[in-house]
């Protein structure tokens, strides 16, 4: 007897070695497959039963029979033709098929034959419609009105099909075994409803566990009302094989453990077998089956086995068969099971089979595409292998390993004497290793890449350096104006190299605000030294492997930046510019700043070790130039290894020179404008610098000049100043060709001259575009900056100070006013986003000012009886630092004495409680800011005299600078101006 596992789709239901009503391995297996189906692609579909003892033959031996109508049914004939079944005679189908073990005795075989004859005589009187392979039992199926309710988790059981289920509850299992012993082996199989909180991703094991936990009423609520009366075919441990008989509906519960219910047997609604609609629907189902059977051998096996075991295909059975074997989900299959209208059931089955047909077509398309792809790749691989073999036999080409080894040896041969001995040893070992490895192994690719890096590096190759100081000076001046400190340091480097005959690497750090030329000067230095240039930025870098490289064992491992640099430039003494070194990151992959210690240490980088190469590299000849905006954020151990050169901002005169000599030329060339077509006046450039580009660098100035020339280019094109170049060129070329062909002909000479004149007249004469201070706003918009000197003259209580910012220097006003006066109401409040250091400076200034006022004017009780307010504009800009102490004291004393300070005075310096003036930083930036605000008199601490004297003459020109070490001198300079005039 054969069953169908609708869940596992043709998986074997039983172990062939079991003997409880099933044949062992040695029993004859009856297989009714068609010739086109492959025995290896699907398991055997027919399970054959035999008697294990003479006493059990009467209920275990199956009767495989087909009634007389099975051959006469048109549906069965159609399906038999579709599946390739051989036509059998009525007599052959009318007899039972018997099977017995080879090891069974003759007595047992005779007993089985006798029992079969008795069963055959009973079957001849039975109704042909009930012919099936189901074993008859003493109580008839229709007599079972109370059955055990067994939950089916995945798909419903259809009449005529087998289904294995697993029963974990010992009580239910014992009840099933008891039913078999009482010759009433029937139970009800009901599909389980979805749980209220069912998760689609839950596994089958979780679903099975939930079923086992359901008992009594809870289990009854989860079961569908309509199920199938199933015969218990066998029980093997906790596995129960069920055979579907007919439809059931639960009416009420009889007992909870095990769950027993009363059922009603459902019958199909009456229908007219001669109805044309039903016939058409059934034939469409058969037609769909025909199409599916052509593509799926699994379905052919289903049809063959079903017709052998169940009998003829009636309309209801055809509907059940189609719904049971198609790939519909559990809910759709349950709807078919609950439908009692045969026509509707056929229509539902037809829909499911149509969907199955579409899925089969998609599957066939996918399989065909994959097969074509695989066959194409296999064919290409086979042809490539054959080609390699042919070339190898002819000696045209060696194998991959020999070719690779030859390539690597060719690389190192020219410079073999310069390569260090330990590097040559590693290369030889890796080449030997490469010959022993298979080309398909992963280690082969790792070794090949490693040799590729080792052999491509410029071991011992150095570029010829320029030791001509004069030529280097010219190159540096061509590219950059000013930057005398940097240029002087580079010339010193060249001079030392010329005296020694060789140069060593150095580590130079250029610090300064953005746009002053730190990065661009690096390329000029490389050109002046005749060295290769390589730049990489470490801003935001958080991985040590970017500096030191990855280990070779990692997938996608690569060397660090320095090894990549040497490969890129091809020399061992390049100039390496490490940009934004003050913005190094720090992440989970280590601290790159610590990794740079080895790279930028002159004592260590001669034996720099990269993790990927795992051999030492000599970087002592490399000149490292680092750039930073602020050196305060650079770790001290790293900063200690570098020679810091500060680049302050440019003053107005320097910006004018840079704009004339560099920025204007580049902007004209980029916009295609000729020098005679535009004229930018000095007043316009000066206004552009003072009112639009006041920052320390020239990057914004370059943008504004480019903007001016773009607008000039648009104006020239609109006015027709630029002729159509192809037409003019063509005319001139034609004239020259004519002249070359025949210069002796007077007529043609006249033609040539006429053509040239015509080409020249095409250039429309347009007035030169003039840019001056009056029309500058038309090109760059309204001024961005206004005069920093907002007071003219300076009122009482207001003093100009000098400050340093990352963008350069700037002027800073200190304002003080009286809030309230009264005896004993002295106090001071501050505003202007002042930092902690600056707030402390206000307290010190207040104390020192009271002390000085007491000395100068003992009767003046201003500070004791006045509540003061000190403000530092602008309020939106955060400010901090100690250098405003002397300015605050002067502002407080000016208010207390009701006397303004002298005009055109600016000061800076930190003050102690005793009135001493301490040194400050940013002397050049503050001097430039004072010149920009047209200040003539500046007060600096005495300790900063050396810093001021080192400034260029054009920066110090026109300034009256006073150096003080005590506030008493500042008092005389700020308030004693009347005596000086006298």
> Active-site positions?
883, 926
Which DSSP string do the residues of 799-856 spell out, in sequence order? EEEEEEETTEEEEEEEEEEEEEE-TT--EEEEESSB-HHHHHHHHHHHHHHHHHHHHH
The conformational region for residue 949 under phi > 0 = left, psi -120 to 50 = alpha, else beta, is alpha
Q: What is the DSSP letter of 659?
A: I
CB atoms inside a 10 Å sphere around CB 793: 10
User: What is the rounded distance in angstroms from the CA atom of residue 661 to the CA atom of residue 663?
Assistant: 7
Token pair listed for 252: 């009420």
Neighbour-count burial for 965-980, b at 16+ CB within 10 Å, e otherwise: eebebbbebbbebeee
Residue 457: partners with Cβ closer than 8 Å, 6 or more residues away? 563, 566, 567, 617
Q: Residue written as tokens 């037609």?
A: 287
* CA 100 from centre of chain: 68
> Which residue's entry shows tokens 């940097």?
486
Residue pair 583/633 in contact by the 8 Å Cβ criterion: yes
Give kind and range of the element (H or E) at residue 679. Answer: strand 678-680
DSSP SS3 for 935? coil
Distance CA 127, CA 130 (A): 6
Strand pairing partners for 811? 802
Give the whole-angstrom CA distance, residue 521 versus residue 480. Answer: 7
Nearest by Cα to 528 from 599, 641, 625, 605: 625
CB–CB of 322/285 below 8 Å? yes
Q: What is the DSSP letter of 661?
A: I
Measured in degrees and rounded to the nearest 5, phi and psi for residue 604 equal -115, -30
Phi, psi of 511 (to 5 degrees): -120, 140
Distance (Å, rounded) from C-alpha 309 to C-alpha 132? 6
Q: Report how far residue 159's alpha carbon sits from residue 321's, in angstroms, rounded to the nearest whole number.
A: 9
Phi, psi of 592 (to 5 degrees): -60, -30
Distance CA 701, CA 692 (A): 8
Q: How many angstroms separate the CA atoms of 149 and 176, rounded?
A: 11
Secondary structure (3-state) at 105: coil
DSSP line for 520-544: HHHHHHHHHHT--EEEEE-TT--BT
> Counting beta carbons within 10 angstroms of the beta carbon of residue 905, is it exposed (0 to 12), middle (13 to 18) or buried (19 or more)?
buried
Which among 710, 679, 708, 678 has a CA at the least distance from the CA of 693? 708
β-sheet bridge partners, residue 799 = 814
Tell me which H or E stretch contains 938: strand 937-941
CA 524: distance to chain centroid? Answer: 38
Residue 794 to residue 975: CA distance in whole angstroms: 13
Radius of gyration of the chain (CA): 51
The tokens 């410079």 sit on which residue? Answer: 415
640-663: buried (b, 16+ CB within 10 Å) or exposed (e) per residue?
A: ebbeebebbbbbbbbbbebbeebb
* Residues forming beta bridges with residue 162, ordered by sequence position: 243
CB 483 within 8 A of CB 647: yes
Please check whether residue 527 is in contact with residue 475, taking contact to mean a CB–CB distance below 8 angstroms: yes
């Amino acid at each position: 007897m054969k069953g169908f596992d609708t869940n596992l789709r043709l998986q074997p239901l039983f172990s062939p070695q079991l003997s409880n009503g099933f044949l062992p391995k040695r029993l004859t297996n009856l297989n009714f497959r068609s010739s086109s189906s492959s025995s290896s692609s699907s398991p055997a579909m027919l399970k054959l039963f035999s008697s294990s003892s003479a006493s059990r033959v009467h209920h275990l031996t199956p009767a495989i029979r087909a009634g007389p109508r099975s051959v006469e049914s048109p549906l069965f004939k159609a399906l038999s033709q579709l599946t390739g079944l051989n036509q059998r005679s009525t007599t052959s189908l009318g007899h039972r098929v018997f099977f017995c073990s080879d090891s069974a005795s003759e007595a047992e075989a005779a007993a089985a034959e006798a029992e079969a004859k008795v069963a055959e005589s009973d079957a001849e009187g039975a109704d042909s419609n009930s012919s099936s392979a189901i074993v008859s039992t003493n109580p008839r199926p229709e007599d079972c009105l109370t059955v055990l309710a067994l939950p089916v988790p995945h798909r419903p059981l259809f009449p005529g099909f087998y289904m294995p289920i697993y029963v974990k509850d010992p009580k239910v299992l014992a009840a099933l075994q008891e039913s078999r012993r009482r010759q009433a082996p029937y139970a009800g199989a009901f599909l389980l409803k979805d749980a209220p909180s069912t998760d689609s991703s839950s596994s089958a094991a979780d679903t099975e566990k939930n079923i086992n936990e359901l008992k009594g009423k809870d289990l009854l609520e989860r079961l569908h009302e309509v199920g199938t009366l199933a015969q218990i075919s066998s029980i093997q441990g906790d596995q129960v094989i069920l055979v579907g008989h007919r439809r059931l509906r639960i009416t009420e519960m009889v007992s909870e453990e095990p769950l027993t219910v009363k059922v009603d047997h459902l019958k199909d609604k009456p229908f007219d077998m001669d109805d044309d609609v039903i016939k058409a629907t059934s034939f469409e189902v058969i037609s769909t089956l025909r199409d599916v059977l052509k593509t799926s051998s699994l379905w052919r096996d289903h049809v063959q086995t079903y017709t052998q075991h169940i009998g003829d295909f009636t309309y209801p059975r055809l509907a059940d068969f189609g719904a049971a074997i198609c790939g519909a989900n559990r809910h759709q299959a349950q709807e078919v099971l609950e439908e009692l209208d045969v026509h509707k059931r056929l229509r539902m089955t037809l829909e499911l089979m149509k969907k199955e047909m579409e899925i089969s077509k998609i599957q066939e398309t996918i399989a065909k595409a994959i097969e074509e792809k695989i066959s194409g790749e296999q064919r290409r691989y086979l042809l490539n292998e054959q080609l390699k073999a042919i070339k190898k036999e002819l000696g045209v080409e060696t194998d991959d390993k020999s070719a690779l080894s030859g390539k690597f040896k060719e690389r190192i041969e020219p410079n073999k004497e310069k390569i260090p001995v330990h590097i040559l040893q590693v290369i030889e070992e890796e080449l030997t290793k490469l010959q022993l490895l298979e080309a398909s192994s992963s280690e082969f690719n790792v070794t090949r890449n490693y040799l590729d890096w080792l052999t491509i590096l410029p071991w011992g190759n150095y570029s010829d350096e320029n030791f001509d100081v004069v030529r280097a000076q010219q190159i540096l001046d061509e590219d950059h104006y000013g930057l005398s400190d940097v240029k002087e340091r580079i010339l010193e480097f060249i001079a030392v190299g010329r005296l020694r005959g060789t140069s060593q690497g150095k580590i130079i750090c250029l610090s300064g605000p953005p746009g002053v030329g730190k990065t661009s000067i690096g390329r000029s230095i490389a050109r002046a030294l005749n060295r290769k240039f390589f730049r990489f930025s470490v801003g935001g870098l958080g991985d040590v492997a970017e500096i030191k490289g990855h280990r070779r064992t990692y997938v996608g491992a690569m060397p660090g930046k320095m090894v990549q640099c040497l490969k890129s430039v091809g020399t061992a003494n390049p100039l390496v510019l490490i940009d934004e070194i003050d913005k190094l990151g720090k992440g989970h992959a280590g601290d790159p700043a610590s990794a740079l210690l080895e790279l930028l240490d002159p004592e260590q980088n001669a034996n720099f070790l990269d993790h990927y190469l795992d051999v030492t590299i000599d970087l002592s000849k490399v000149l490292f130039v680092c750039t930073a905006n602020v050196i305060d954020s650079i770790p001290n151990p790293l900063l200690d290894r570098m020679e810091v050169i500060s680049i302050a901002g440019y003053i107005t005169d320097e910006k004018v020179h840079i704009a004339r000599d560099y920025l204007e030329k580049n902007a004209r060339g980029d916009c295609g404008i000729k020098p005679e077509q535009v004229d930018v006046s000095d007043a316009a450039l000066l206004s552009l610098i003072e009112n639009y580009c006041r920052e320390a660098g020239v990057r914004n100035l370059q943008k504004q000049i480019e903007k001016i020339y773009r607008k000039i280019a648009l104006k020239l094109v609109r006015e027709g100043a630029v002729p159509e170049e192809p037409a003019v060129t063509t005319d001139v070329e034609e004239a020259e060709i004519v002249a070359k062909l025949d210069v002796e002909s007077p007529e043609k000479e006249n033609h040539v001259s006429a053509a040239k004149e015509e080409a020249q007249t095409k250039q429309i004469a347009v007035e030169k575009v003039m840019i001056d201070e009056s029309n500058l706003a038309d090109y760059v918009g309204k001024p961005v900056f206004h005069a920093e000197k907002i007071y003219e003259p300076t009122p009482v209580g207001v003093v100009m100070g000098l400050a340093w910012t990352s963008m350069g220097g700037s002027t800073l006003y200190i304002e003080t006013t009286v809030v309230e006066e009264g005896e004993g109401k002295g106090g001071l409040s501050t505003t202007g986003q002042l930092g902690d250091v600056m707030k402390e400076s206000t307290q010190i200034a207040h104390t020192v000012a009271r002390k000085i006022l007491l000395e100068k004017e003992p009767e003046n009780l201003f500070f004791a009886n006045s509540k003061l307010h000190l403000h530092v504009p602008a309020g939106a800009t955060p400010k901090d630092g100690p250098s405003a102490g002397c300015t605050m004291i002067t502002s407080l004393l000016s208010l207390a004495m009701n006397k303004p300070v002298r005009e055109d005075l600016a000061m800076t310096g930190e003050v102690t409680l005793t009135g001493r003036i301490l040194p400050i930083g940013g002397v050049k930036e503050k001097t430039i800011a004072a010149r920009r605000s047209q200040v003539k008199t500046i007060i600096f601490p005495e300790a900063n005299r050396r810093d001021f004297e080192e400034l260029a003459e054009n920066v110090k020109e026109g300034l009256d600078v006073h150096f003080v070490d005590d506030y008493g001198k500042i008092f005389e300079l700020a308030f004693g101006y009347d005596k000086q005039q006298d």
